[in-house]
Amino acid sequence: MIDLDKIQKAIREENLDGWLFCNFHHRDPLSDAILDRPSGLTNSRLWLYAVPSAGEPLGLTQAIETDHLDGLPGTKNTYIGREELKTLLKPLAGKRWGAHFSETLSAVSFLDAGTAAFLEKAGLVLVPAEALVQRFKSLLDSGGIASHERAAAGLCQIVEKVWDFIRSSHARKQELYEGDLRRVMEEEFVRQGLVRDHPPLAAAGVHSANPHYDFAERGALIKEGDIVQLDLWAKEKEPRSIYADISWVGVYAEKAPKEAENIFADLVSARDKTFTFIEKELSSGRNLSGAEVDAYTRSLLAAGGYEKAIKHRTGHGIDTECHGSGVNIDSVEFPDSRFLLEGSCFSLEPGIYMDRYGFRTETDVYIAEGKPRHYGRLQTSLLHC
């Protein structure tokens, strides 16, 4: 059952006339998910569902697939051809409708250009709906925050267990592969009842310079002095559980090289100053966008001479998906002008990637009572054996 009140509240908060959902061949998972549409239905014809800021929604389905909007509130009409559909759209003309397209945020952009052109010719004014999506899908309530914190606690325990395993292997001079670290993480996910959408990252040596490194079978042998990067994310099994996502890094040696320690110290400084920046700006009552936060973090790293070593955004939205539909900390890849709102949850994960190795530190932040908060222990220095 859809939460119509929550949808209409989001529309009013964004000062729009309505939110337009539509789908064809299930190309828009957001429309299916928000309207709770069964994925098994044949979707060979376009359907539309227009939710106004107040009042009754309007649903439109093609004559041979009239069941797609069954169970949803509002008036339902059926069309056969394009001209009839255009006529049925007349009540929506001249109004501003949030729709699932975006010039910058590909993760919430599903409306194809042809359908958008047809709707605009029918008189609808289409507005990107990414802010609506964030308000409806990605702002955590107290239950969501608790779910996120439980997942984060589990991940912190797993990191400690993996590094105990690394230290033990190093002390016994036992061969250790990247796949051995992944296996320990995966076993702990199962033991703690956590689930993930992709295997965690375990990258050693030059592989740590690749933020999305992956491997088959056992991966590479970890050698003395290698930088070892761990990146792990998971959530509880229950429906609507919220992800946590953390990255820790260390060196497979009893002592880290001074150069590596200095680089990591600069990275930690940028992460912590960014958290303080968010805290200060929000406390002043100013709206703060994800793009502004990313630009601030990048300015700190660039001042340290690392501008060319930044390969990705410095944070992403987190909700029921690890890379969620909420605000990203990004001013470069997918510039995100959406604001950090009450209930927003996102990672802070600046990374520095050289030719020989890379470093990333990641913690998760959520906004509660107008302040940024994070759960668990922050890494402040490189781990070692």
Q: What is the pLDDT of residue 114?
A: 97
What is the torsional sign of CA 90, 95, 98, 99? positive
pLDDT band at 377 (very low <50, low <70, confident <90, very high): confident
C-alpha 137/C-alpha 11 separation (Å) is 13
Average pLDDT over residues 245-250: 98
Q: How confident is the model at residue 248 (pLDDT cuts 50, 70, 90)?
A: very high
How far apart, in Å, are the Cα atoms of 148 and each of 123, 237, 239, 240, 282?
43, 12, 13, 10, 22
At 162-201, the pLDDT tens digits run 999 999 999 999 999 999 999 999 999 999 999 999 999 9
In the chain, % of residues over pLDDT 70: 100
Supply the mean pLDDT for the chain: 97
Looking at residue 350, what is its pLDDT?
98
Which domains can be identified in the chain, with CATH numbers? 4-136 (3.40.350.10), 139-374 (3.90.230.10)
| pLDDT over 90 at 376, yes or no | no
CA distances from 176 to 195, 222, 379 (A): 25, 6, 23
Structure confidence at residue 11 (pLDDT): 98
Give the C-alpha separation, 290 to 328, whole Å.
5
The pLDDT score that the predictor gives to residue 104 is 95
Instruction: Give the separation between CA 30 and CA 168, rounded to whole angstroms.
Output: 46
Structure tokens of 32?
A: 């299916």
Quick one: average pLDDT of 38-51? 95
What confidence tier does 121 reach under pLDDT thresholds 50, 70, 90? very high
Q: What percent of the chain is predicted at pLDDT more than 90?
A: 98
Q: What would the pLDDT profile of 76-113 be if each residue is shown by its tens digit? A: 999 999 999 999 999 999 999 999 999 999 999 999 99
pLDDT tens-place string over residues 260-288 = 999 999 999 999 999 999 999 999 999 99
Global pTM reads: 0.95
Q: How many residues does the chain have?
A: 385
Q: What is the mean pLDDT of residues 331-343?
A: 98
Predicted pLDDT at 269: 98
pLDDT at 30: 95
Q: Map tokens 């054996």 to a residue.
A: 385
Note the pLDDT of residue 36. Answer: 95
Q: Which helix (H) or strand (E) holds 114?
A: helix 113-121
